[in-house]
Chain A
Amino acid sequence: MKKRTALIFLLILSLLLLTGCWDYTDYDDLALISAIGIDLDKNTNEVIVTLQNYVPSTVSQQSSGKSIPISGAVKAKGATFTEALSKIQQARRKKLFYAYLNVVVVGKNASRKIITDTLRYFERSPNIRTTAYVAIAKGTAEDVLTTMDPNVSVTIGQDIHGMIDQSPAAGSAFPVSIEDFNEKLAISGIEPVAPLVTVKQTSKSKTDKSSESTEDDGPIKFSKLKEGYQKINGMAAFKGENLVGWLNVKESTGLGWILNKEMSPYEEVKTFSKNRIQNTIAFSVSKSKSNIKVELVNNKPVITVDTHIEANLRKFARDMKVDYLTPDALTSAENGLADKVKSEIKAAIKKGQKNLKTDIFGFGFAFYRKYPSLWHSQYEKKWEDTFADIQINVNVEAKIINTGDSVKKFVPK
């Protein structure tokens, strides 16, 4: 009898404990955030947060008559990032939910001052995945997140996330997650980078001034979307916690080669004649691998970057004086490709070492791995100065894996 009573008691207790009611939230009560924008007001030093969320049930009718889902954007200003978030929540019926976050866009001003504190917030918050990408806006993050391509049927956050995913194929950038960014901020001898996102608006702002709240604790603005498009066209380079400059597409490709970022852009090599359309050899890079070697020569660090590229030939130049793509002809094309890649790597190094003076390549980290005690005793503290003057050698070896469907140059009649 006692055992039966105890069992019934346990079952009743389990019913109370196992229902999970405490944590129940209806899916419809969640505002799924797709992108977060962070800006800094230079005058007031306040943080401006723009949230762009999924609104799957709402569609807008475009002039073409085509229905596309719109994603609302709302922004708020606060003394801190969390204060701004709280203000947005005040004006939202649904609970802000970040598990579906695709991208965090940080404006130029915020990147120069508050990026670390903000990203550390993401790292500590369990409901934000640090696999979301980081992108730096050349202007404001708000502009990026309130501009939408009318032909795209996904949210702006998803769109930018997709563009960043595809950026290695264009050679313009490579993905950097919040986690990657934090790792680079924490490890000495390597500085963080993030994709650069620019925006082009094709229509003027349709923001209705009347939609701005006039609450005492600061304005909350519901931004109407502007037509336009975003583009990933370069990388933003940091020194420590601060943004120091931009890398253009060529420099970003070079950085990608050095950092083994699975870049797979089309590469073009011009031959002898001036006619670029006819006399260009085009390659599609399929594989790349770089090794950073560190040596001490006369007690000074010397870095050697050895890069191996594998590519497919996609177009052969008309003015090459060969009929068949023989091994000799391919060697010549391979040398051309190697020179092209070398120039990209050198451009990146020049920008990082001489102009921006920031070790985004991780040469310091490579030095530490080779000479850990020397790094701690002599170089760690003054690497910033040492890096600007070290000798960096670049060797590139290119190999054409195939020439597509043809082994012979096409000769029109």
Chain B
Amino acid sequence: MDNEGKITHGQAAFLSYASAAGNIVFTFTFATSIIGRAFWVAVLIGALMNIPFALWILYLGKSQQGGTIFDILETGLGKVVCKIIIVMYLLLNIAIAVCMLNMFSGMIKLYFLQFTPTFAIMLFIVLICTIFANSGIQNFARLVEILGLLFTVNYFFGFFLSFFKTFKMEYVVPVFDTSSIQFAKGIMISAGTCGESLMFLMLMVGSISHTKKHYWSVIKGLVSWSLVLAFAILIMEGDIGQELLSAIAQAGVPVARVIQIGDFVRGLEILVLLTYQYIIIEKTIMYIYSSYESLKKLFHVKKSIWLLILSALSIFAASVFVNSYNTGYFFSVFLGSYVILPFVTLVLMLASFSVMIKKKKNGGQLK
């Protein structure tokens, strides 16, 4: 088996882990206001709910080793359907990227670079990420492994220090003070927002040499992320209470600002900001890569620097056009609540249908 351009088990796990760490790291506060104290449990369940979808993608990938979901769609349903889906995917991917880039730039501008124009922050991130995306999935997967590890360590190093003084157990218990409808709604929002990982997995599946052997790697990545995110939210809730947590923008940074140990350690936002910096780099690489791969498929080209630039430019231009933390935040909530998971389900159903047609054509055998 030719493993050129294919990712390892570890890389598959880290890519799954990092791809789930998308807009949810900012928008979880919105769902906190719906569910209340039980939100960290809803996030845990919601993120885990992506696993069956991920396995579904990997199972479909088995039918056409080395092919992405778009390749599978094209084989069974033809070019037109495939191109329609690619255009939808492209638009959704850009929309998600724009939300995240706006939220991150808004956060940087609020706390650290108040007079730097937002476009400069966005341009710098997009520029770096385009270079990494150009290097191919194998290379940026190595970077994602390092950054994934760093952001997790940073996140918890910052928040663990809150256990000395800031964390209050009474802000966490009782956990289930919510109605079942609200709880279900919270699960759906978090499942939808974490569904970003599935969109990336649709392309990543083409870079997996043995999809069957990678089941466990992908599950490990998604389970790890759901645990990390749920635990981080639990700590934040214990630090400031769900009443204030549900109102804050800028996610973990304002929470890290209240952590205090003695007179000299006042606020650990720099650690949490670094975490967000690592996450945005990883995710923007993935967004650009996903757009680039879809454009390549759309125009049937193997490699084109102009399409890469077009992918990066479209994300950058749309982000500069929006230029608002709040628009990014609420649009991301909308996408997570109503768009991402239904879109993923639609694509996977069409892909399954495509595989069935292909099987039928081959007399029940997949070739």
Contacts and interface: CB of A to CB of B under 8 A. Distances in A.
Contacts of B120: 17, 22
Given A17-B124, A131-B260, A372 B267 contact: no
B241 A183 contact: yes
B266 A129 contact: yes
Nearest to B260: A131
A412 interface: no
A327 interface: no
Contact of B114 (A14, A17, A23, A165): A23
B115 interface: yes
B164 to A, nearest CB: 13
Contacts of B244: 182-183, 186
B258 interface: yes
Interface string A1-39: 000000000100110011010110000000000000000
Contacts of B131: 10
Interface string A237-275: 000000000000000000000000000000000000000
Contact of A369 (B115, B170, B240): B170
A374 B244 CA distance: 23
A372 B177 contact: yes
Contact of B243 (A177, A179, A186): A186
Interface string A278-291: 00000000000000
Interface in A73-130: 126, 129-130
Nearest to A186: B243
Nearest to B121: A17
Contact of B115 (A18, A23, A177, A182): A23
B173 interface: yes
B170 A179 contact: no
A179 B258 contact: yes
B116 interface: yes
B248 to A, nearest CB: 9
A365 interface: yes
A22 B115 contact: yes
B111 interface: yes
B357 interface: no
Contacts of B363: none
Contacts of B266: 129, 131
A232 B329 CA distance: 44
A131 B243 contact: no
A177 B260 CA distance: 11
Contacts of A372: 174, 177
A13 B263 CA distance: 41
A22 B267 contact: no
B127 interface: yes
Chain B interface size, as a band, is 20 to 34
Contact of B258 (A17, A130, A187, A365): A130
A22 B113 contact: yes
Contacts of A129: 257, 266-267
B117 interface: yes
Nearest to A371: B174
Interface in B101-138: 110-117, 120, 123-124, 127, 131
B74 to A, nearest CB: 33
B127 A183 contact: no
A369 B173 contact: yes
Interface string B227-270: 00000000000001101100000000000011010010011000
Given A13-B127, A17-B123, A179-B258, A365 B243 contact: no
Chain A interface size, as a band, is 20 to 34
A365 B123 CA distance: 48
A398 to B, nearest CB: 25
A183 B243 contact: yes
A148 B240 CA distance: 35
Interface string B15-31: 00000000000000000
A130 B115 CA distance: 22
B116 A23 contact: yes
A183 B243 CA distance: 8
A254 to B, nearest CB: 20
A179 B173 contact: no
Contacts of B243: 183, 186-187
Nearest to B117: A22
Nearest to B249: A124
A165 B110 CA distance: 30
A10 B241 contact: no
Contacts of A10: 127, 131
A52 B116 CA distance: 29
Contacts of A23: 112-116
- Which of A14, A177, A372 lies at the interface centre, i.e. has the most chain B CB atoms within 10 A of its CB? A372
Interface string A344-367: 000000000000000000000100
Contacts of A130: 257-258
B106 to A, nearest CB: 11
A14 B131 CA distance: 13
Nearest to B253: A126
Nearest to A2: B305
A14 B257 CA distance: 30
Interface string A186-209: 110000000000000000000000
Contacts of B117: 22
B111 A126 contact: yes
A68 to B, nearest CB: 22
Interface string A147-177: 0000000000000000001000000000001
A22 to B, nearest CB: 4
A24 to B, nearest CB: 9
B334 to A, nearest CB: 24
Nearest to A182: B244
Contacts of A165: 263
Contacts of A17: 120, 123-124
A18 B116 CA distance: 10
A20 B174 contact: no
28 contacts: A14-B124, A17-B120, A17-B124, A20-B113, A20-B116, A22-B113, A22-B117, A22-B120, A23-B112, A23-B113, A23-B114, A23-B115, A23-B116, A126-B111, A129-B257, A129-B267, A130-B257, A131-B257, A131-B267, A179-B258, A183-B243, A183-B244, A186-B241, A187-B243, A365-B170, A369-B170, A369-B174, A373-B177
Given A22-B117, A23-B115, A376-B177, 18 more contacts: A10-B131, A14-B124, A17-B123, A22-B120, A23-B112, A23-B114, A129-B257, A130-B257, A131-B260, A131-B266, A165-B263, A177-B258, A179-B240, A183-B240, A183-B244, A187-B241, A187-B243, A369-B170
- 9 tightest A-B CB contacts, nearest first: A186-B243, A22-B116, A372-B177, A22-B115, A179-B258, A17-B124, A126-B110, A23-B113, A23-B115
